[in-house]
Amino acid sequence: WLAVSAGPWAGFDLGQSVALHVDYGFLRTPPGWRRAQLEVRLSVMVARPSEDTDLTRVVTPPYGTPITVDAGVEQARVWTVEVVPMARLRLPVGEKFALYADGGIGLAQTIEKYDREEMFLGHTERTKNVTGLVVRLGAGMSFALSDRTRLLFEPVAISIQLGPDFSAYVPTLGLAYRL
């Protein structure tokens, strides 16, 4: 099966984006299993989260109470790529409908660019490239449109990056085609 899906990328700590997933999987159900199916998958996800953060500074006048003033803005622009081998446990509920849960551990790579414009400090730019582990867990459902195509909906999808700081909730809607 070759699947393409997309959905919102909602970061726990940073920004939002659209995520694009491409994955390839094949059936590897053990012979003794009667109902459930096991799929082995390789998934690649790309997202481009961004966020603008207003910076403030507390100023204390000689007489009076401290006040907070706007001090600038920091813009974060990130490319994040995840490559994750996964296992999917699929449970057919009817002839065309199935529920599934999947999970895997893989690699995450981020390219992070931060532009900061701050009062009294000027303009600074900072770039980081970070490689780390990612743990991806998900649950969803599939609906067979034909013998060779499935509609996939994964409303529960969490991508936890260990190393890079861009863990996210990534629900997707996609289409899978049997090769």
- Reported as a single tens digit per residue, the pLDDT across 126-147 is 999 999 999 999 999 999 999 9
| Nearest residue to 26 via CA among 36, 38, 37, 40 | 40
**Tell me: the pLDDT tens digits for 83-114?**
999 999 999 998 999 999 999 999 999 999 99
pLDDT of the residue at 130: 93
Tell if the pTM clears 0.75, that is, is over it.
yes
Q: What is the mean pLDDT of the chain?
A: 92
Beta bridge partners, 81, equal 46, 109
